[in-house]
Amino acid sequence: METKDFLKEMGKISHISGFESELANFLSTEFAKQKNVNVSVDKVGSFIAHKKSLTTAENPPKVMLMAHIDEIGMIVSKVRKNGFVKFSPIGGIDKQNILAQEVTIHCRKTGQKLFGVIGIKPPHLTSESDMKKPIKISDMAIDTGLSTEQAQEIISPGDLITINTDVAELQNNKLTGRALDNTAGIAVMYHTLQALQHFNHSAEIYCVASAQEEVTGLGGKTATYSIKPDIAIIVDVGFGKANGLADHESIELGKGGAITIGPNTNRKLLDELKKAAKKHDTPYQVEVTAGMTGTDAYDVQISENGVITAVVSVPLKYMHSTVEVIDVADVENTGKLIANYIMSLQNLEGESCYWKD
Amino acid sequence: MLLERLTTACGLPGFEDEVRNIIKEELADFVDSIKIDRMGNLIAVKNAAATGKHIALNAHMDEVGLCVRYIESDGRIRFASWGVDRRLLPSMRVLVGEKKTLGVIGAKPIHLQTESERNSTVAIDSLYIDIGCDKKEEVEKLVNLGDFAAFNSKFTEFGENRIKAKALDDRVGCATIIEVLKSDIPHKVTGIFCVQEEIGIRGSAVAANGLSADILINLEGTIGADLDGIKPHEHVTTQGGGPAISIADRSSLYFRKHIDEIIAVAEKNSIPWQYRRSGMGGTDAHNYHLAKTGTPCIGLAVPCRYIHSPVSTMHKSDFENLVKLVKAYVAEFGGK
């Protein structure tokens, strides 16, 4: 599947933290279409695609790519009178991004996918000072247009809510939609495997779509423990330059994946990634994160005996909104960069080589 | 469905062409004449030669939205707002210009917002439309200064007999007039579809000067605030409660005599009705009341929740009952 179509398909599937199975199933089908790839879903809901070493090398290096599978979303907290539904956020929802948006309530009782809108009190009834304050999520309600009885019958507390936005095309190969954080990262892994399909790589490759990154980091932590990789490359999204963000706090769309420099990542691995990019003329950029990266790398790096870890980010504008924007070329170039790095790997001569100059 | 066709069309103030063309097409076989005046208002007359009481019906074709104000060198499109609540702007999808190029309005990520940014609504000046171009020259191939940016919202039926769409205010009024003019009535009825209501009832100022009718019924989508957490006395109207009849708003005081007439017609025909319970807002009726020697007006409306947003909603029965009520009024008082 073309990268664009792959992203559009993932955009149709709800995959809120803790409830990622539908997307995991989709990934199982799609990744399994590639040669030599075995797929599985682990007990916490992470998706794992394993591609064996295709050389006879002894002790081939184990490389784990990881992109989180979950998206932020909402959950029904109370069904009120006249078909109004109160809700709570799952993950870092920005209250200012969800007003007057269309939603689907995934009703467990009936299996229905119910349409609703997040309503807003009209400005005519709102004081000038209240207009300047964002509305709290606890003061919002979803309007289902149902009667009190119908709503009570169909909807229950705990039902999940996703915002209805498809992944749509903007100009210049850009896509917009919800949850591109982090379907973009999953698409990078998919593209990496595609790029490698005609090459005999010596590395054992694991592609993990980790569960619950947006809430607890559960899936990244447990999958790393069971795979025990030598090297991990975390693929997530980074703040794309927009909204007047300064150069030092953002990366640019269209300039390739951003390799993160900082204590959460391994310097030598970063150099190797850069070397692979330069050799194959793949665009990339760098970003500095002085503290933790806010990605699965936080847990992966210190798993068991420690993992040599890198973070590569796809630039994305308007993060955690329903109008996130990415450049498809950045996804493909990041996939290519990682594929080229994997091809450059022969054996590790002990992990400590990653501390030599 | 007529209402779907009308709400899918874009008709921002000064750009009502698409809506006007649909109305023209819909009415062509049902009226004696269709005239478009210098402002762009469409005036359709049915049974022009009929004698007796002449009833006029008015609705506006335009909708709220945004207007392209400036294109930055890096391709960001700055906009002005035609009546859009600024709290709705972050995460909005819009269709820009006559080519309807998809654009998005995104806010600064929550991760990077300062404490004060988290606690105040985003100012229009810090927002822009992003169509995916990073050069002004690329944007200019698709978008011109002064172009409109309309809500990108699909007509959707949902819930119990509800519709969600953009621009229900006032395509529901336009649809009502079309339904009435398509019906078999022997009396003289004029349908007026105005431009530029949303930016200060500009179209009807001219249409009113060209009209000689005995009475005018103004048809609107109005505020429905029967929402969770809002006290009953602030509801203005109730969805599903029937057409709302105006007593007064900011720009008109409706004559009691005609309010009583329309209520009597509703009661006689068992059509549910409600009062519009707010003095807020203003409509084209203002201009008809004041123009020339004055045309008395009746104000009727369909309750629309989240009016002026991409997701305005209405109850289908309110629309059906509004059409019934207007037809019944015309049958009762037309020609007399």
Question: According to the model, what pLDDT value does residue A357 have?
Answer: 43
Average pLDDT in chain B: 96
Q: Quick check: A141 contacting B, CB < 8 Å?
A: yes
User: What are the C-alpha distances in Å from B231 to residues A118, A147, B228, B304?
Assistant: 19, 18, 8, 17
Backbone phi, psi, residue B74, to 5°: -95, 15
Q: Mention every residue, 6+ apart, whose C-beta is less than 8 A from residue B40.
A: B14, B16, B17, B20, B195, B196, B203
Q: Is the dihedral of CA B272, B275, B277, B283 positive or negative?
A: positive
Of B102, B225, B236, nearest to A170 by CB-CB distance is: B102
CB contact under 8 A, A99 and B111: no
Q: Quick check: B126 contacting A, CB < 8 Å?
A: yes
Predicted-complex ipTM score? 0.94
Global model pTM greater than 0.95: no
CB contact under 8 A, A243 and B108: yes
From CA A14, how far away is CA A290, in angstroms rounded? 33
DSSP string, A335-353: HHHHHHHHHH----SSGGG
User: Percent of chain B having pLDDT more than 90?
Assistant: 97
Question: Around A155, how many Cα atoms within 13 Å sit in the side-chain half-sphere?
Answer: 35
Tokens of A262: 């900082």
Question: According to the model, what pLDDT value does residue A124 have?
Answer: 82
Q: Are B188 and B334 in contact (CB under 8 A)?
A: yes
Question: According to the model, what pLDDT value does residue A347 have?
Answer: 60
Q: Are B20 and B40 in contact (CB under 8 A)?
A: yes
Name beta bridge partners: A68: A210
Q: Are B174 and B22 in contact (CB under 8 A)?
A: no
Name beta bridge partners: A208: A48, A66
From CA B217, how far away is CA B177, in angstroms rounded? 10
Name beta bridge partners: B95: B102, B150
- The whole-number average pLDDT for the span B143-154 is 96
Catalytic sites of B, residue numbers:
197
**Dihedral angle at the C-alpha atoms of B147, B148, B153, B155, nearest 10 degrees?**
-100
Backbone phi, psi, residue B269, to 5°: -100, 10
Chain B nearest C-alpha distance from A350 (Å): 38
Q: Quick check: A89 contacting B, CB < 8 Å?
A: no
Q: Which residue of B has its CA nearest to A327?
A: B132
Q: How many CB atoms lie within 10 A of CB A165?
A: 21
Question: According to the model, what pLDDT value does residue A198 have?
Answer: 86
Mean pLDDT by 10 residues, chain A (357 residues): 96 94 97 95 97 87 96 97 97 94 96 96 87 94 97 97 96 97 97 93 95 94 96 96 91 97 92 94 95 92 93 97 97 97 76 51
Tokens of B265: 């017609």
From CA A92, how far away is CA A211, in angstroms rounded? 16
Question: According to the model, what pLDDT value does residue A356 have?
Answer: 45
Q: How many CB atoms lie within 10 A of CB B160?
A: 16
| pLDDT above 50 (res B190) | yes
Amino acid at the residue B238: T
**Residues of chain B numbered 149-168 and touching chain A (CB < 8 Å):** 153, 156, 158-162, 164
Q: Is the dihedral of CA B282, B230, A165, B79 positive or negative?
A: positive
- Spatial strand order of the sheet with B162-165 comes to B156-158, B162-165, B312-315
Tokens of B165: 């769409």
**Residues of chain A numbered 318-347 and touching chain B (CB < 8 Å):** 318-325
Q: Mention every residue, 6+ apart, whose C-beta is less than 8 A from residue B102.
A: A168, A169, A170, A176, B93, B94, B95, B96, B131, B152
Quote the distance between the C-alpha of residue B243 and its chain's center: 15
Question: How many residues belong to chain B?
Answer: 336
Q: Which residue of B has its CA nearest to A99?
A: B88
Question: According to the model, what pLDDT value does residue A348 have?
Answer: 61
Q: Quick check: B106 contacting A, CB < 8 Å?
A: yes
From CA A20, how far away is CA A25, in angstroms rounded? 9
